[in-house]
Structure 1
Amino acid sequence: MAARINDIKPQFNVKLTMEEMRYMTIFQDVTGVTPKDCIVSDELNSIIFIVDGDKVGQAVGKKGYNVKYLAKLFGKNIDVVGWADNLEDFAKNIFIPARVYRVQLIESSERKSLYVYVDPKDKGIAIGRNGRNVAKAKILMKRYYNIDNVVIA
């Protein structure tokens, strides 16, 4: 059964660790953008910052300067994702620059799966090297929407 995708609201009752709060403070000092959230992923060796959708460019910096600087400073990959208040737009933001043309949520009794349909030419970009973008999407979708699986179609 497919749920109406834009009727699903995110859960934002997240507890931050001291380490994540420290990363958020440094991120704000460097970029001038206040992040909404920060996720440290040892599996991806990265830190994912969630910022307001209209602040992504400022956060990334000209020619990616801020992201490169923070990556060097923290010794981890840095991902900046624009926040959106609905599931479809948030999924699209996660997979930028891949062109997402449809997002579908399939729920069964034991799990939720999000199918993200991308332009066939952008499939490699959407998946990312070694599945990195899909892994990032799984982390974010689990955190905010309790979705267990993300599939690029």
Structure 2
Amino acid sequence: MTVRLSDEARRLIAAFEDETDASAVDCVVDDEQDRVIFVVAAGEMGSAIGPGGSRVEELEEKLGRDVMLVEDAPTPEGFVANALSPAAVYNVTISENDTTVAYAEVAHEDKGVAIGTGGKNIEAAKQLAKRHFDIDDIQLT
């Protein structure tokens, strides 16, 4: 699926790549939560975070916003699990009927983390899953 980037998203990706030495494949500006969400190329999350989170902290300071990182994955199941991180996701099943729904089995003690304050984490995961794999909804089980 092709992801279209706005000029602002392209500018933010350039800033991300300059600051972290990692590649970003997508960027979503979440004005409601005053944050920027980057989808980091698979295998480059460590470089994006930096030692002790230093690169993310520097990027947040430079952008003046919170930054959320999601590692890319080749499969929709892997992508949904990554989008819900740091929650422990045991399994993701994709169901295709009238709509495409990802059912994510999340550790009971991590459901709050997966949902996030005011639902911000699950909403970000849903938005990214729609953009990258045309998944209409994510349900936690």
Q: TM-score, normalised by structure 2?
A: 0.91
Q: CA deviation at 1:138?
A: 0.9
CA contact (8 A) 1:134 1:151 kept: no
Tell me, which stretches of 5 or more residues in structure 1 are unaligned? Answer: 1-10
Tell me, which stretches of 5 or more residues in structure 2 are unaligned? Answer: none
Q: CA deviation at 1:69?
A: 1.8
Q: Which amino acid aligns with 1:62?
A: P
CA contact (8 A) 1:20 1:40 kept: yes
1:133 to 110, 114, 121: 121
How many residue pairs are counted as aligned between the two chains? Answer: 141
Q: CA deviation at 1:106?
A: 2.6
Q: Which has the higher contact order (CA 8 A, sep 6+)?
A: 1
2:6 to 3, 12, 17: 17
What SS does the aligned partner of 1:85 have? coil
Instruction: Extract structure 1 runs of 4+ deviating beyond 6 A.
Output: none
Give the aligned CA root-mean-square deviation in angstroms. Answer: 1.4
1:16-55: CA deviation from partner (whole Å, max 9, x where unpaired): 1111111111111110112112121223322111112211
Residue correspondence of structure 1 range 54-93 to structure 2 within 5 A: 54-93=43-82
What SS does the aligned partner of 2:27 have? strand
| Alpha-carbon distance in 2 for matches of 1:29, 1:46 | 18
| Alpha-carbon distance in 2 for matches of 1:151, 1:133 | 13
Q: CA deviation at 1:87?
A: 0.9
- Corresponding position of 1:50: 39
What SS does the aligned partner of 2:24 have? coil
2:107 to 101, 113, 119: 119
| Alpha-carbon distance in 1 for matches of 2:111, 2:118 | 13
Q: Which amino acid aligns with 1:15?
A: R
CA contact (8 A) 2:92 2:102 kept: yes
| Alpha-carbon distance in 2 for matches of 1:57, 1:82 | 10
CA contact (8 A) 1:37 1:51 kept: yes
CA contact (8 A) 2:39 2:72 kept: yes
> Identity percentage over the alignment?
35
